[in-house]
Amino acid sequence: MDWRSITFDWNRARAFLVTAEEGSLSAAARALGMAQPTLGRQVSALEEELGVALFERAGRGLELTPTGLDLVEHVRAMGEAATRISLAASGQSQEIAGRVCITASEIYSAFLLPQVVAELRDTAPGLEIEIAATNAVTDLRRREADIAIRNAAPEDPALTAKRIADDTGWFFASESYLARRGTPQGLDDLAGHEFIAMDNVERMISAFAGFDITLSREMLAIRSDNHLVHWELARQGVAIGIAPEFLGRATPGMVRLLPGHGPIRYPVWLVAHREVKSSRRIRLVWETLDRHLRARLREGAGA
């Protein structure tokens, strides 16, 4: 390999890649935690080193030039390789200290993870625990998190996963709502009630149709993508909500509807990058999550 042919600085290439992915210098500077003028100088220096224009102005943002489009895929591959090096290095660490990021849904983050974090602070005070509460799927390969709690198996062969339990969910309503609107006795009685929709209404209607439960748009006039808001609306008696069994049963004043039907079951997976799994700190968090979640979900389903 002719090392003399590599005539650019990797830090400048990284500045180019992040700017391309974020769409502006200001957003890229925030992502990298650096000053915008410094980032701009790095991008300009890379253009000068390579003798090409990488960006052109588009309103308040930036767009890649044809040359930039050609080069960004090569630089992205470099970024992924750099991430793998970082993962491999951190995976060999045997010290139970440092940062571990767990990503989970809003409900799991708020109602399942606090006990896990409390135990970890007692057993491994050197750990720094970060919780990324999101209902979206994070990219573990790009180190957006170290461990994910998901309701579907990962498709990426570079990830390791373990199905640790099955969760269950169903309809719950507050005592105040039922006192005002009456308690449905069967599936046909649901037509006279209001529900809180999650995410896409049509997708929710279709999903419940698979369980022979008919919902209409008129019944789903209240919507929130935030699952904590969804649950609070139900808890305060606005409408019927949908929640995991462990949460509904543990919340005072909430009633599980139609006990002769349901619940809906779905898997709970722990997912991590294979290389990171060899780290003692990641393994400790993984095993603690496994034990806590198994116990809580089993308790919630069997109560």
For residues 174 and 223, membership in a common domain is answered with: yes
Same domain, yes or no: 162 and 271: yes
Rounded Cα gap, residues 176 and 234, in angstroms = 10
Please tell me the predicted confidence (pLDDT) of residue 79.
79
191: domain CATH number is 3.40.190.10
- Residue 7 in contact with residue 38, Cβ under 8 Å? no
Residue after which a domain boundary falls, among 64, 91, 118: 91
pLDDT of residue 292: 94
| Residue 84 and residue 63 in one domain | yes
pLDDT value of position 3? 47
pLDDT of residue 94: 56
| Cα separation values, 286 from 72, 85, 93, 162, 164, Å | 35, 22, 15, 10, 11
Tokens representing 96 are 């139970």
Of 91, 111, 127, which one is at a domain's C-terminal end?
A: 91
Residue 149 sits in the same domain as residue 276: yes
Closest CA to 187 of 92, 90, 262, 250: 262
pLDDT at 212: 83
Report the pLDDT value the prediction gives residue 136, as an integer from 0 to 100. 83
Residue 33: exposed, middle, or buried by beta-carbon count in 10 A (0-12, 13-18, 19+)? exposed
139 and 108 share one domain: yes
Shared-domain flag, residues 224 and 292: no
Low-confidence stretches of the chain (pLDDT beneath 50):
1, 3, 303
pLDDT of residue 108: 96
Cβ neighbours of residue 196 closer than 8 Å, sequence gap 6 or more: 220, 222, 223, 224, 230, 233, 234, 238, 239, 240, 241, 242
If DSSP codes are grouped into helix, strand and coil, which group holds residue 127?
A: strand
Same domain, 293 and 144: yes
Residues 49 and 76 in one domain: yes
Q: Identify whether residues 83 and 104 lie together within a single domain.
A: no
Domain count, the chain: 3
Predicted pLDDT at 71: 86
For residues 19 and 87, membership in a common domain is answered with yes
Domain around 228: 167-264
If asked whether residues 210 and 141 sit together in one domain, one would say no
Say yes or no: 232 and 282 in one domain. no
CATH number at residue 63: 1.10.10.10
Last residue of some domain: 68, 91, 114? 91
* Per-residue confidence (pLDDT) for residue 1, from 0 to 100: 46
23-75: pLDDT as tens digits: 888 888 888 888 989 988 999 998 888 888 998 887 777 888 888 888 888 88
pTM: 0.69
Rg (CA), the chain: 24
